[in-house]
Amino acid sequence: MSGPGARVRAIWAGQDGELPQPVPFDASDAVIRESVAEAIRDGAIRGIVRDLGVDLRDFVVDRIPASEDDPIDRIFVRPKTGFGATWTSASG
């Protein structure tokens, strides 16, 4: 991993908070979701109450690279918001 890593902000149960440690900006979505879920299960995210039942399977990962205005790479884990009219197979 090069650089300081990305700060990860997560949403769960009406609360939001940041992972205590940065993660690689190019980590896979699955790895990031699992890191966040584990942190919520452990009660390790300030601002999000510990929840053993956390389920992020239909959450998406947004990546915001560092810019002039914000020199830190950022990752956001939030619920998906797409809609579709046709039945499709459920995603994992």
Partner 1 sequence: MDPLKDAPLVETALVVLPHRVVWHEPAGRTWGSIPDSRELWSILWDHRSELVGVAHTHPGLGTARPSIEDLTTFAACEAGLGRRLFWWIVTADRCVKYQFRGPDRLDYVGDEDPFHSWLDELRARSSSGDP
Instruction: Indicate the residue among 4 and 70 with the shorter CB distance to partner 1.
Output: 70
Distance CA 65, CA 6 (A): 9
Q: Which of 69, 71, 88, 92 binds partner 1 (CB under 8 A)?
A: 88
54, 56, 61, 62 alpha-carbon torsion, rounded to 10°:
-60
Residue 78 within binding range of partner 1, rule CB under 8 A: yes
Distances (CA, A) of 14 to 4, 10, 62, 80: 29, 10, 18, 15
Kindly indicate which of the ranges 10-18, 23-31, 35-43, 66-74 contains the residues binding partner 1, using the contact rule CB under 8 A. Answer: 10-18
Which one among 1, 13, 30, 31 touches partner 1, defined by CB under 8 A? 13
The reply on whether position 55 binds partner 1 by CB under 8 A is yes
Name residue 79's beta-bridge partners: 59
In the complex, the residues that contact partner 1 under the rule CB under 8 A are: 11-16, 55, 58-60, 62, 76, 78-91
